[in-house]
Amino acid sequence: MKGKIALITGSAKGLGKKTALSLADQGCHIALNYVHSKVEALELQAVIRNKGVQCIAVQADVASTQDIARLVSEVESRLGGIDILVNNAGPFIRERRLFAEYSREEILSLIEGNLVGPMLLDHMVLEGMRSKNWGRIIHFGFGHAAESRAWPHRAAYAAAKTGLVSFTKTLAVEEAPYGITVNMICPGDIRGVNKEKSIAEVSGEADGETPRGRPGSGEDISRVISFLCQPESDFITGNIMDISGGLDPIRPWIKPST
């Protein structure tokens, strides 16, 4: 992995930050991306540079076509061609609402940020990856996204992510001959500070909603992404991977009585 160039969207904080640190530990040069979290991005940039790899931080909104083009152009001019693309960023509205209660602007933001943005980013990096006959693309979904079930109160978000499921599988088939793998990571309900914690840090905590019995951590996600990015993982592509401790976000688990 030494010397590979990785772009991780939405990486100033949370799961993206944990992924950036993990890939940097394996010798990758890192392109961080943020929208508003400039202070956090610059702090992380300093930490990653201290690991002995290159790191830049670029402001861009993945829901904006113009920003996406500028993001890729800046990464390529400052670091070189992108070998690994982790499409972590994407808007999410935690408040539960019926589809009829969303504004037009909110619907478009959810679709553009979670489906159109990743597709356009993928399109922009494919030529460079093909020229090297090597590339890794990671998308983000949600638990059981591959089943395309109804998810009341999350209509627009779920539609975008399940659309991305189909795209993930299609792109994986099309790009396999060029040494490019495309997979989707579907995290469980990992919240707040846990997104930046290690497995060891959360292992003693109880979580009654997750069948595994503990909350998820950022390391649960980043270690799988790091594995998928390994050169030896080239036979793993087109997969939709739930990393959720068994949690089904649509049909909550009922804890057995004791």
- Alpha-carbon distance of 121 to 7, in angstroms, equals 10
Long-range contacts of 115-118 (CB under 8 A, 24+ apart): 115/160, 115/161, 115/163, 115/164, 115/167, 116/63, 117/62, 117/63, 117/68, 117/87, 117/89, 117/90, 118/62, 118/87, 118/90, 118/164, 118/167
| Stated pTM of the model | 0.94
In the chain, % of residues over pLDDT 70:
97
Q: Catalogue all structural domains in the chain, each as residue range(s) with its CATH number.
A: 5-243 (3.40.50.720)
- CA gap 11, 73 in Å, rounded: 18
191-195 long-range contacts (CB < 8 A, ≥24 apart) are 191/215, 194/218, 195/13, 195/14, 195/15, 195/17, 195/18
- Give the model confidence (pLDDT) of 152-180 as tens digits: 899 999 999 999 999 999 999 999 999 99
Tens of pLDDT, residues 11-69: 999 999 999 999 999 999 999 999 999 999 999 999 999 999 999 999 999 999 999 99
pLDDT for position 256: 62
